[in-house]
Amino acid sequence: MLARIEAMRMQLRPSERKLADYVLDTPREVLDLAMTELAKRAGVSQPTIARFCHALGCGGFREFKIRLAQSIAQSVPSVYRDVRHDEPAPGIIAKIFDRTIGALIEVRNSLSAASVAKAVELLGRASRIEFYGAGGSGIAAQDIQHKFFRLGIPSVAYADPHTYSMSAALLNKGDVVVAISNTGRTRDIVDAAQSALGCGASVVAITHSHSPLARLATVSLSANVAEETDIFSPMTSRMSHLAIGDILAVGVALTRGAELVDKLARAKATLTRRRIEVDA
C-alpha cells in the first residue's frame, strides 16, 4: 500500500496529494485514527479521504486501513518521505531509522550467499588484504579493516587515491583487495582494482551491481542502495557496506576456528588491562 501511494502520488489531486504525504509521513499513526480525526490532522475533507481510498483501489476507508496495516506488518516500509526543512525531532528519528532499516533489509534480501561464500574463501586464505574506498567509502574501508586486523590477518586500509593506486601496483598473487564504492563508478577505485588484478591479486567488490567495478571484480557483493543527493538524506549506503563487512569478518573468523580463539582472547585481555576499573 505504501509503495502504491508513493507511485500514484503525482497523479492525485492536490488535496489528495496532501493526504498522501500525511499517510507516508505517519503510516502507523493513521491506523489509530477515525476518518474525522484523520481529516482534521491532515487538513483535508472527509470526501477527499473517500476519493483517496477509491483511487488506491479500496472499497472504503476501512479497507484502506486494513491494507495499510498489512503493508506495515509485512515489512519495514521501503518507501519513506524525505526529512523536511522544518522536521521536528520525532520525524527525524522515525524517518532516518526507517530508511536505514529498509535499506539494510533490501540489501539482505538481494545479497548472494554464493558470492559471500566465495569472498570468504578468498579472504580466508589471503596472504594480505587491502581495503580501498574514497570519501564515505574510505571510512567504511577503515572500519572493515579494523575488524580483520583483530583477526590477525595482515591488512591495511587506504582512502587516498594516490596511495591505493600505488599499493595496488605492488600486490602479488594470493593478495586480496576489498574495493568499496556505492556507485561502482569512481574512476580511481576502478583503476586500482584493474591494477591489482593485473598483478595477480583478487578483488572483492562491495558495490552496486552491474557497475564497472562489479563487472571486473573477482567477486562482487551487491549493495544496491539509492543514495540521495539531498543535504538532509542519511548515508544509508555506508550502513549497508559496514554490515557486509561484518558478514565477511565473521565468515573468515569461522574458517579460522580454534586457531583464532587464542588470538582473540589475548587481544581482549590486552584491551581489558587498559580500561579504568570501576569500584563496586
- The reply to whether 245 and 122 lie within a common domain is yes
The answer on pLDDT for 127 being more than 60 is: yes
Residues 32 and 127 in one domain: no
Q: Which residues lie below 8 Å from residue 71, measured CB to CB, with a gap of 6+?
A: 1, 2, 3, 27, 77
Same domain, 58 and 195: no
d(CA 1, CA 70) in angstroms, rounded, equals: 8
Write down the pLDDT at residue 79: 44
Q: Measuring CA to CA, how many Å separate 208 from each of 213, 217, 227?
A: 8, 12, 11
* Per-residue exposure over 91-107, b if at least 16 CB sit within 10 Å of its own CB, e if not: eeebbbebbbbbbbebb
What pLDDT was estimated at residue 81?
A: 54
Q: Is residue 89 part of a domain?
A: no
Looking up residue 223, the CATH number of its domain turns out to be 3.40.50.10490
Pair 43, 133 in one domain: no
Q: Which of 28-37, 119-128, 161-170 has the lowest mean pLDDT?
A: 28-37
Q: Are both 68 and 184 inside the same structural domain?
A: no
pLDDT tens, 34-51? Answer: 999 999 999 999 999 999
Structural domain span for residue 10: 2-74
Domain assignment present for 175: yes
pLDDT at position 77: 46
Query: Does the pLDDT at position 124 exceed 90?
Result: yes
> What residues does 206 pair with on adjacent strands?
180, 221
CATH code for the domain in which residue 46 is found: 1.10.10.10
Same domain, 232 and 160: yes
Whether 126 and 263 map to the same domain: the answer is yes
Q: Which of 26, 57, 74 is the last residue of a domain?
A: 74
pLDDT value at 76 more than 60 = no
On whether both 113 and 37 belong to a single domain, the answer is no
Count: domains in the chain: 2
Of 144-153, 165-174, 237-246, 257-266, least confident by mean pLDDT is: 257-266
Reported as a single tens digit per residue, the pLDDT across 155-192 is 999 999 999 999 999 999 999 999 999 989 999 999 99
Domain boundary among 55, 74, 93: 74
**pLDDT of amino acid 177:** 98
Which of 156, 136, 116 is closest to 250 using CA atoms? 116
Q: Categorize the per-residue pLDDT at 249 as very low, low, confident or very high, splitting at 50, 70 and 90.
A: very high
- pLDDT surpasses 80 at 111: yes
Question: Does 127 lie in the same domain as 227?
Answer: yes
Gyration radius of the chain's alpha carbons: 24
